[in-house]
Amino acid sequence: MIHVPIPAVIEDVLYNLEHWPVSEQIGAGKLFPTFESLHVLAVGMLLGSLFMVDLRLLGLAARRYSVRRMSDELTPWTFGAFALALVTGLLLVIVHPTYYASNPAFVAKIVLLVLAGTNMLVFHHTIWRSVDGWGDGAVMPIQAKLAGGLSLLFWVGVIAMGRWIAFFL
Amino acid sequence: MFDQVLDQIYQAGRWLNGTDLHTSIRHLLQTVGWVSPTIQSIHIVCITLVIGTAALLDLRILGWAAPSQVPAEMARRLLPWTWSALAVQFLTGGMLVLNRPIRYADNPSFLFKMLFLIIGIVLTLVLASGLRRDPDHWTSTPARVLTGKLLAGVSVLAWVLIVLAGRWIAYR
């Protein structure tokens, strides 16, 4: 099985994190599956709300709605869900940090998360600035379509890699 | 009566365990390493579609989300995604069940998940049929508002519990 090499300094930090009483507490009882369930729920809300905006940007769904309005109404749900996913995700990771850090699926998941975040940042600082000019139309500018398509791709990748982590045990 | 139902489900699991379909799927999942995680990944991606459509419609009816969207129009636009995603769920979930039928027939989390699934589907159908008959169906009288919100509240809870119970299947 493939494993990602970790520098000794980082491995030491991760080892200490793994033996932190909080981490051991989570790993020992029913807290792990509890946080895991909440993590999946958060992922469901995150992508569920994101899909709609992405598909709207691609011009595949809800074409009669203003993108601006749709984004304003759904983004709080996306960010709320992301916060829950982040907190529960961190609580899961600290149980076996060394294992996750060397797990190719986990590393791929983090890379895809960074790509998804970068895509969103770039989108918001470029074409989104002029959304009032194009946001009500049925046909989206190519940059918006690209951002929506990449977002879908990256996030589906995040989920797939998340599920794949368990298969690198 | 309850015990009998559980026993029937267990018997069904044992019966499935003896079918050729079980043998073929088990063989496929055991010999081709990437099939299992791929099926599971598709299953999770599609639950996000169910949450993003059916649960979002519930949240709209409850008055908690997407205020600018019109419920009747939302139902027309979103529910085809729900039913398509659920069809994929039955297919991918069905393969996982066929892989180890007895494990699922005997698993309380799985049985609860199926119960919540029935509740979620039925309530979504009831809410949608009201909206189809009259776009203002769930807002026309105070009693209807209350009924609609109650149904939507139980429905969104059912979808949430489906996700949570789904993850708990692994922790028998």
In angstroms, the CA B141 to CA B145 distance is 6
CB B151 within 8 A of CB B60: no
Q: Which of B39, B73, B156, B163 to mutate to test the interface with A (most CBs of A within 10 A)?
A: B163
pLDDT band at A11 (very low <50, low <70, confident <90, very high): confident
What integer pLDDT is reported at residue A2 of this predicted model? Answer: 64
CA geometry: angle at B62 spanning B57 and B63, to 5°? 95
Q: Which tokens belong to A45?
A: 């809300």
Mean pLDDT of A17-27: 87
What integer pLDDT is reported at residue A91 of this predicted model? Answer: 93
- On the question of pLDDT at A1 being above 80, the answer is no
- Contacts of residue B163 in chain A, CB cutoff 8 Å? 37, 40-41, 44
Residues 6+ apart with CB under 8 A from B65: A73, A74, A77, B56, B59
Q: Which of B34, B48, B162 to mutate to test the interface with A (most CBs of A within 10 A)?
A: B48
In angstroms, the CA B94 to CA B92 distance is 5
pLDDT band at B46 (very low <50, low <70, confident <90, very high): very high
Q: Is residue A161 part of a domain?
A: yes
Which of A17-21, A35-39, A119-123, B89-93 has the weakest average pLDDT?
A: A17-21
pLDDT mean across residues, chain A:
90
Q: Which residue of A has its CA nearest to B163?
A: A41
Q: Which tokens belong to A109?
A: 């998941």
- On the question of pLDDT at A131 being above 80, the answer is yes
Nearest to B48 among A44, A61, A166 (CB): A44
Task: State whether the Cα torsion B113-B115-B119-B125 is positive or negative.
Answer: positive
- Give the global pTM: 0.88
Which of A4-8, A9-13, A99-103, B155-159 has the weakest average pLDDT?
A: A4-8
Determine the distance in angstroms separating the CA of B1 from the nearest CA of chain A, rounded to an integer.
31
Question: How many other β-carbons are positioned within 10 Å of the β-carbon of residue B77?
Answer: 19
Tell me the residue range of the domain where A125 lies: 8-168
Domain count for chain A, please give it: 1
Determine the distance in angstroms separating the CA of A19 from the nearest CA of chain B, rounded to an integer.
23
Mean pLDDT of A69-95: 94
Q: Which of B42, B51, B53, B169 to mutate to test the interface with A (most CBs of A within 10 A)?
A: B51
- What is the DSSP code (8-state) at residue A141? P
Mean pLDDT of A105-122: 96
- On the question of pLDDT at B29 being above 70, the answer is yes
Q: Is residue A29 part of a domain?
A: yes
Nearest to A51 among B48, B163, B166 (CB): B48
- On the question of pLDDT at A41 being above 70, the answer is yes
Q: Is residue A2 part of a domain?
A: no
pLDDT band at A169 (very low <50, low <70, confident <90, very high): low
Asked if B41 has any chain A CB less than 8 Å from its own CB, the reply is yes
pLDDT mean across residues, chain B:
94
Give Cα A47 to chain centroid, integer Å: 8
